[in-house]
Amino acid sequence: MNNFWQTIHKPIIALAPMEDVTDTVFREVVLSVSDPDALNVVFTEFTSTDGLCHEKGRSKVIERLLVNASEMTLLKSRNTKLVAQIWGGDPEKFRLSAKLISEMNLFDGIDINMGCPAKKVVKNKSCANLINYPELAKEIIYATAESTHLPVSVKTRIGFSKIVTEEWISHLLETAPKAITIHGRTRKMMSNGPALWDEIGKAVTLRDKLCSKTLILGNGEVFSYTDALNRIEQYGVDGVMVGTGVFKNPWMFNTERVEITVNHRIELMRKHITLYQNTWGNGKDYNVLKRFFKIYLNGFSNAAHWRDAFMRAHGYEEALHHLDQMEKQLQALMVL
């Protein structure tokens, strides 16, 4: 087994798996403005094992595992690792999905989602609800690991309806996953309130007490590269996973760029729209792209006007036209 978790440059900084966000396009966009040492692991969107194991359903979910050739070139040039994340509740389907993913020869690891709090997934024994079924969770990890040569990791939370950090993490450590990423909130907390990093620290202490080789990554309220390094130093984690923080600043993994100009925003937004169009065309809902516009359209004169214009755009050509018009206006105002 090629376990990159043990050989990768530390500290480990990872881009979290996010629904309708971390597709091959967004990963490439973020990677293109990041330092290799400041972002060394990226995750796919989370992909249903039920869908992967269903002959007709597979075509609907397999796009979540798409890796553009341009992204793959970038990953290899940086030596950044790409991990496929999967979810479900049936160990046998995890076994089959892991085998399928391994045979794709695109990924460096497989991650099991045991943290997503969405009602539509926790109503079954899957994602965060697996915290309530530790024996099933362990069976899923074993089934996945037995059917792949790739290192298997887990992303989870500190509890479901209440905090059970040490009890829950001890169950996971029994299966010796190569890494566990812990979001410092329970499922009940969703994304509300502060992330409880002291609980993540308890997991590190437990891991060390048990002399486990499993790496521990922390997740929750990391909004800058400096934040990430501070969390690592303060809580003793092996790395940090960044989620929604990247929406505030996709350049956060660039340690040299101090000032993000309007021109930088325009260039990256144009790259994002064009790459999205070339990748998905009409095969994916254009409106999904709109959730990214707020990343770029802030911090300059008349930004609110342009955000409204882009949100009203009905397609790629109209959005790119708006971008050209905005650039001309800002050039005239000499604010680029």
Burial class of residue 282 (count of CB atoms within 10 Å of its CB; 0-12, 13-18, 19+): exposed
Token code pair at residue 176: 């010796």
Q: Is 116 part of the annotated catalytic residue set? A: yes
Question: Residue 272 contacts by C-beta under 8 Å, 6 or more apart in sequence?
Answer: 25, 26, 29, 289, 292, 296
Name the residue among 63, 43, 35, 54 with its Cα closest to residue 111.
43
Helix (H) / strand (E) element for 234: namely helix 225-235
**Bond preceding residue 11 cis, omega within 30 of 0:** yes
Tell me the one-letter amino acid at 115.
Answer: G
Secondary element (H or E) of residue 104 = helix 91-104
Choice among 53, 116, 127, 211 that is catalytic: 116
Neighbours of 276 (CB within 10 A): 22
Strand-strand pairing, 41-48 and 81-87:
parallel
25 contacts 272 by C-beta, under 8 angstroms: yes
Q: How far is CA 261 from CA 175, 251, 257, 264, in A?
A: 47, 11, 10, 5
Cα–Cα separations (whole angstroms), residue 193 to 189, 261, 325: 7, 32, 40
The residue among 109, 33, 25, 16 whose CA lies nearest residue 64 is: 25
Q: Could you give the residue numbers annotated as active site?
A: 116
